Structure 1
Amino acid sequence: MDNFELREKAPHETVREYAYRVLYQNIMTLKLPPGTAMSEQELSGVLNVSRTPVREAFIRLAEKGLLEVLPQRGTFVSKIHTEQLAEFRFFRVTMERAIVELACQEFVDPWKTKLEFCIFEQGKFIASGSAANFFKSDNTLHSLLYEGCGKPHIWQVVQDSNLDYARARVLNVSDGDAAEQMNLLYEQHKGIVQAVFDKNVKVAKDIMTEHINKVMGDVAVLKQEYPEYFG
């Protein structure tokens, strides 16, 4: 757990919520990569909490499919499941094409301003080489499209369904030439936003499809480089 990122407890956060949040964020950012052995005792010491909130966090993470309990062996961060990625790609492409079509019909301020700022922010993250912040901003851009169309709850469903997909994206952006990966995604983001502003449904849907499918095209390469991360 050399890369484990310890975060401060929020003012009104319970110990249970804190333990879950820190473990969840470390798993999703691959600070705890797939296959990592998880120890209640060790993590309670790292987080400076009792074992009970850590155990409860383990249960919640297992329910989300992020932890796997293997009898007689222990608890491990779940591997990224290729079959689930393929299934989710279909779901995500379907939803994202629908949302940009809605956005092309009517997408008003302050959502336009927020999208423009998001694109500006991503350019700064590329310049500073911050892949982690770029990925957060990537998620923000997609969430703004849903919120601007009055569909925030659907975005939450998408988020809750795409945990393996999200981890694969983090790995993809972090792998090899991160700047090249970020620049490609950045250009796609700019194209999507411009198409929405221009109310060009076809272009928006075409770029979004290419954008979502990109991860699946890269998975084959990632599986060769990180076979221990995939199941």
Structure 2
Amino acid sequence: MASLTATSATAPLPERLDPSRRAAPQVFERLRDQIIALALPPGAPLSRVALQSEFGLSSTPIRDALMRLAEEGLVEIFPQHATLVSRIDVTRAQQAQFLRQALELEIVRLLALQPTRALADELNALVTRQRRFAKDGDLAAFMLADNAFHERLYTAADKQDLWTLVRSRSGHIDRLRRLHLPSPGKAQTILRHHKQIADAIAAGRPDEAQAHLREHLTGTLSDLATIRGRWPDYLSG
């Protein structure tokens, strides 16, 4: 996707959207993905006029998408002035991590009390896929595979709605994770944790699954001082 803030002598072709779906949610999803991936970093301006041209839309769906991003704290809207990608709010990141840990500790316990071969195979396949992305240096795909691993835990426990809730609260912690991911050894640590969680669930060891999950989910925030030192202008709070 082309830069949403760039100008050009010729108008870009509109970004293709699915005509069977409402436009505003699609614009929201695409902008959110770019913000989480830091393709649109903290402080980046979002021009409504440029977005209308980019997506070939009127002002209404663009406004609705930006309002939804603002509700998640991912952009700041200054009426009659500008819309900027927000800085990473550490307090909101900590709250999202607290919510996720509380839910997932119970989920892995539930799954480990009723282990199945099918789930074990699925989780191991996801770890293998994620390992391939790490080897290729594809950090964007690695993060998508990371989310797929955790989402599978929720769906296996029949808690899909809770995953939707967690995702809607995770914009700030996910950006911290994206900043932290290139750190030496970080990807391998994530892979090791995922494998340990999957193995503990498969073996029917709930306490062990919870211990590995707790260590896994606290990794980024435990290194917050280092992240803040490297990207001080990206963080607030």
**TM-score, length basis structure 1:** 0.89
Aligned with 1:38 (options 36, 46, 71): 46
Secondary structure, counterpart of 1:107 in structure 2:
coil
Which structure shows the bigger proportion of residues in helix conformation?
1
* Separation in structure 2 between the aligned mates of residue 88 and residue 21 of structure 1, nearest angstrom: 19
Q: CA deviation at 1:32?
A: 0.8
Q: CA deviation at 1:9?
A: 2.1
What does the per-residue CA deviation read over 1:46-74, in whole Å, with 9 as the maximum and x for residues that have no partner? 23333332122111111222111235652
Match of residue 150 from structure 1: 158
Aligned with 1:210 (options 210, 215, 219): 215
Q: Identity of counterpart residues, as a percentage?
A: 28
What does the per-residue CA deviation read over 1:160-210, in whole Å, with 9 as the maximum and x for residues that have no partner? 22221112112211x444xx2211100110011001111112221111111
Aligned with 1:16 (options 17, 24, 30): 24
The question of 1:77 aligning with 2:82 is answered no
Match of residue 60 from structure 1: 68
The question of 1:134 aligning with 2:147 is answered no
Quickly say closer, same or farther: Cα 1:230–1:72, change in 2 above 3 A: farther
* Separation in structure 2 between the aligned mates of residue 140 and residue 123 of structure 1, nearest angstrom: 13
Q: CA deviation at 1:154?
A: 1.6
Q: CA deviation at 1:2?
A: 7.2
* Separation in structure 2 between the aligned mates of residue 2 and residue 104 of structure 1, nearest angstrom: 45
* Separation in structure 2 between the aligned mates of residue 110 and residue 7 of structure 1, nearest angstrom: 39
Note if contact 1:105-1:199 (Cα within 8 Å) is conserved in structure 2.
yes
Number of residues of Structure 1 aligned to a counterpart in Structure 2: 227
The question of 1:88 aligning with 2:96 is answered yes
**TM-score, length basis structure 2:** 0.87
Aligned with 1:222 (options 221, 224, 227): 227
Q: CA deviation at 1:91?
A: 2.2
Quickly say closer, same or farther: Cα 1:45–1:11, change in 2 above 3 A: closer
**Aligned letter for 1:201?**
P
* Separation in structure 2 between the aligned mates of residue 147 and residue 50 of structure 1, nearest angstrom: 37
**Aligned letter for 1:40?**
R
Structure 1 residues 151-230: aligned runs within 5 Å: 151-173=159-181, 175-177=182-184, 180-230=185-235
Note if contact 1:7-1:22 (Cα within 8 Å) is conserved in structure 2.
no
* Separation in structure 1 between the aligned mates of residue 143 and residue 151 of structure 2, nearest angstrom: 13
Secondary structure, counterpart of 1:33 in structure 2:
coil
> Which residues of structure 1 form unaligned runs of 5+?
none
**Aligned letter for 1:149?**
A
Note if contact 1:108-1:148 (Cα within 8 Å) is conserved in structure 2.
no
Secondary structure, counterpart of 1:164 in structure 2:
helix
Aligned with 2:125 (options 117, 122, 131): 117
Note if contact 1:119-1:189 (Cα within 8 Å) is conserved in structure 2.
yes
